[in-house]
């Protein structure tokens, strides 16, 4: 019954993913010949047509990748290969937490391998065709190797500690496991920009001048004291642009992609920064951390229940009570259910985006700079201006540009 349920969940999620992709592709094609007035006001016909082709290309690649992922998941679940690969680790170091952690990392690397060709094709074929790729194959490989190294250096000790908690703390291991993982998440928010991000990108202080003075004045005006405003060399990988801030308290850092600085004027960059500050001032970061904590707490409680249930591991060919396989199965199968709740998470994220937009509008003295920044970013990134509502609900954490403009220009 368990395996039948898993087969149904895999099939239903794949069917939903393909249906959403087909609906979105249909919406793009329906507006290809005659863009709606809201889209025509944002993009010229040539750019709009190119954005449509870009969206369709990503949808085609995404559909193929989703089919491949479903096939690989079904193959590893139903073939019995996972418990067969677990046996050598058990015979090598029976019951040892470090061996269980090593097994999880090995399975993660093995199951992640099929996604590499799609990642390569997306970067060096699809993104290249539409003028976004600025990476090299050497850089791409180096990034993968660095990611693997960090997984070994950080992931293995963390998994080792999690699995070891069972022996140290008994039946309540999952409470300590939750505390460990959530505490690690908070620590990484502080350490990531200082220790990990510099391994992949170069961060330099924003040069002194009118732009720096303008952005610092905005930060002072809105009560947002940041340790630094830095520019990241995102252009060495992609022409896409972004901005974000990291850290807590006095360790906050504002980071702008160099592509963003090149693409936008000073009033628009000020609006983008005001939007990011709005996330902080409206308390979105602690709210999302609280949601993450609640989900992690529930996840660990479910893990503990599944791990203590003799039927769960046995249904997939693993020894009952072995926690490493329970972790692996939970990681593989939880997405089958989490997929259906993504629209709810996106609703919360969209609400935060509206609030940050409203904050930015008030901080810069009107909607015009915010709208201008959003329009330029949509043009430069070839955004899909007419997504299907269902696709948008499942895949868009931000409102569409038309929705954001309507909210910004609505009477306050």
User: Which residues are tagged catalytic?
Assistant: 276, 357
Q: Burial-class residue 304 by CB neighbours within 10 Å (0-12, 13-18, 19+).
A: buried
* CA 63 – CA 307 distance, rounded (Å): 34
Q: Name 233's Cβ contacts closer than 8 Å, sequence gap at least 6.
A: 201, 202, 204, 258
Cβ pair 108, 85 in contact under 8 A: no
Q: Burial-class residue 99 by CB neighbours within 10 Å (0-12, 13-18, 19+).
A: buried
Q: Return phi, psi of residue 56, to 5°.
A: -65, -40
* CA 102 – CA 166 distance, rounded (Å): 17
What is the CA 109 to chain-centroid distance, rounded?
19
Nearest to 234 by CA among 213, 214, 204: 204
How many other CB atoms are there within 10 angstroms of residue 323's CB atom? 22
* CA 57 – CA 60 distance, rounded (Å): 5
- The owner of tokens 């005001």 is 274
Give the residues across from 244 on adjacent strands.
255
SS3 at position 58: helix
* CA 400 – CA 385 distance, rounded (Å): 7
* CA 244 – CA 240 distance, rounded (Å): 14
- When computed from its CA atoms, the radius of gyration of the chain, rounded to whole angstroms, is 23
Cβ pair 139, 236 in contact under 8 A: yes
Q: Which two tokens stand for residue 139?
A: 């850089």
């Amino acid at each position: 019954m368990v395996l039948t349920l898993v087969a149904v969940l895999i099939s239903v999620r794949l069917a939903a993913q393909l249906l959403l992709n087909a609906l979105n592709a249909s919406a793009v094609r329906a507006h290809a010949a005659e863009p709606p007035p809201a889209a025509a006001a944002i993009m010229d016909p040539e750019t709009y047509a190119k954005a449509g082709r870009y969206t369709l290309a990503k949808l085609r690649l995404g559909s193929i990748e989703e089919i491949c992922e479903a096939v690989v998941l079904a193959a590893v679940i139903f073939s019995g290969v996972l418990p067969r690969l677990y046996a050598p680790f058990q015979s090598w170091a029976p019951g040892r937490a470090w061996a269980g952690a090593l097994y999880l990392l090995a399975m993660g690397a093995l199951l992640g391998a099929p996604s590499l060709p799609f990642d390569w094709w997306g970067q060096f074929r699809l993104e290249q065709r539409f003028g976004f790729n600025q990476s090299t194959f050497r850089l791409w490989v180096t990034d993968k190797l660095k990611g693997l190294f960090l997984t070994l250096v950080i992931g293995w000790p963390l998994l080792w500690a999690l699995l070891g908690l069972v022996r140290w703390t008994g039946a309540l291991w999952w409470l300590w496991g939750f505390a460990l993982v959530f505490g690690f998440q908070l620590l990484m928010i502080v350490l990531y920009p200082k220790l990990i991000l510099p391994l992949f990108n170069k961060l330099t202080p924003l040069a002194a001048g009118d732009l720096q003075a303008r952005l610092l004045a905005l930060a002072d005006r809105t009560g947002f004291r940041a340790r630094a405003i830095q520019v990241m060399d995102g252009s060495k990988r992609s022409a896409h642009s972004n901005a974000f801030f990291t850290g807590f308290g006095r360790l906050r850092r504002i980071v702008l992609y160099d592509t963003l600085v090149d693409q936008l004027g000073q009033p628009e960059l000020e609006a983008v920064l005001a939007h990011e500050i709005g996330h902080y001032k409206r308390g979105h970061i602690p709210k999302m951390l609280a949601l993450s904590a609640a989900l992690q707490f529930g996840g660990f409680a479910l893990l503990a229940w599944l791990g203590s249930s003799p039927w769960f591991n046995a249904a997939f060919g693993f020894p009952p009570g072995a926690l490493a396989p329970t972790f692996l199965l939970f990681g593989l199968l939880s997405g089958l259910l989490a997929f259906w709740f993504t629209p709810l998470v996106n609703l919360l994220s969209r609400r935060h985006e509206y609030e940050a937009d409203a904050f930015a509008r008030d901080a810069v003295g009107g909607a015009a700079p915010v709208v201008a920044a959003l329009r330029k970013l949509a043009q430069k990134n070839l955004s899909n201006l007419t997504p299907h509502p269902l696709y948008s609900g499942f895949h868009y954490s931000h409102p569409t540009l038309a929705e954001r403009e309507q909210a910004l220009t609505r009477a306050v």
